Structure 1
């Protein structure tokens, strides 16, 4: 890909993506530090960061195994948490499987799927034109591909020197970013109604299901409010 592929994006969007990738790297430092602090060799969180590239499921896997759980049960829990990638894939299909992707080949499309995460999807779907959506999705996804494993490497090397991300407030970074990016869509009554219904369902599920799964219940908000013709 040529450098000009990011040209449709404005400076504000590029700056926002850079800040998100930086925040991801900082959280990766905390994750790598936690993993080695509880006894994992550095290659374990590094391998997960490169092959899984999904922070929530990686944190969950390390936590379950460190607590004495089976690696297979931990992997299954991680897959369940990442079930949200199914609707993500439908939302960004055109950003990955485009005419340009067909020319680039299968490896290009596989990479496009691999970089799909909360942040790249939100940046992709929040843009106002297909060219901007595609550029934002790929720029954010590739940035996280670099920043997340690099953060894990730094954190794993430093060991227990990094504090819990909740202590320094990084656990609030991503929710704040997602709210800011999607706020404009809530001006539409139908979208707002579905979002509020999904939020209520997710909050109701919090005491009933493991961490990371309540967000899946928000999808029922789409089914409960169908557009009337």
Structure 2
């Protein structure tokens, strides 16, 4: 049974890794269109490695916002990954040295979701879910990001191909499967309305920050469920 459990977890991790990595194609193309070159795009994926934060960064830059606004928006959205460590600590303990640093780098939505979706009493499955998903997404995301950046540097203006709205669509696709509860759906809708209302009047990056602030305040004191649908 233990072997079957691990095999099922690894299959789940692989499917999540491939599905998530595919969005790297859109990110790579949009990053180049926003003014970053292929190497800068690759470095952003390698070092930041947080899809929502990366899309927010290039979205602000592409809209004409400054580097400070882009970094602030990206950082704000990336803070959630730090909180995942609280739920994952019993699963990953003990981690030291390079392994600890590597674990921190691959602590993302997907690795957390797959790990905590396994039975609480099956610690090996939870650990397998975390590492297989985290490393799998890391490899797929970075490889496909480079492909997207190379293709994006050759297609010209993304608007000519209907890709100018791809950042918002990809971000929604990453977030939507997690909105499994009415409260989360209501908070997401309120944040979206606020961001849309502020877009015509606020500097680039501010609407996203305001929407994120609404989500954080509304979600305060309501812990994330352990089983997150992917």
Scaled by the length of structure 2, what TM-score is found? 0.73
CA distance in 2 between partners of 1:70 and 1:163 (Å): 25
Question: What corresponds to 1:220 in structure 2?
Answer: 220
Question: What corresponds to 1:92 in structure 2?
Answer: 88
How far residue 61 of structure 1 moved from its aligned partner, in angstroms, is 0.8
How far residue 219 of structure 1 moved from its aligned partner, in angstroms, is 2.5
User: RMSD of the TM alignment (CA)?
Assistant: 2.9
Q: Does 1:29 align with 2:14?
A: no
**Cα deviations across residues 112-171 of structure 1 (Å, max 9, x unaligned)?**
01101110010111111222111101110011111111011111111165864859x866
Question: What corresponds to 1:203 in structure 2?
Answer: 189
2:106 to 85, 96, 115: 115
2:52–2:171 CA contact under 8 A, matched in 1: no
Question: What corresponds to 1:151 in structure 2?
Answer: 144
CA distance in 2 between partners of 1:170 and 1:84 (Å): 19
How far residue 176 of structure 1 moved from its aligned partner, in angstroms, is 6.3
Question: What corresponds to 1:141 in structure 2?
Answer: 134
2:21–2:137 CA contact under 8 A, matched in 1: yes
CA distance in 1 between partners of 2:148 and 2:111 (Å): 23
**Cα deviations across residues 15-65 of structure 1 (Å, max 9, x unaligned)?**
222121112221101111111233321111111100000011111111111
Q: Aligned in 2, Cα 1:163/1:47: closer, same or farther, shift over 3 Å?
A: farther
CA distance in 1 between partners of 2:171 and 2:75 (Å): 21
How far residue 86 of structure 1 moved from its aligned partner, in angstroms, is 3.2
CA distance in 1 between partners of 2:111 and 2:33 (Å): 30
How far residue 216 of structure 1 moved from its aligned partner, in angstroms, is 2.9
Unaligned runs of 5+ in 2: 156-160, 196-206, 224-230
2:115 to 124, 129, 132: 124
CA distance in 2 between partners of 1:133 and 1:218 (Å): 29
Question: What corresponds to 1:3 in structure 2?
Answer: none
Scaled by the length of structure 1, what TM-score is found? 0.74
Q: Aligned in 2, Cα 1:126/1:64: closer, same or farther, shift over 3 Å?
A: same
Unaligned runs of 5+ in 1: 1-5, 184-194, 224-229
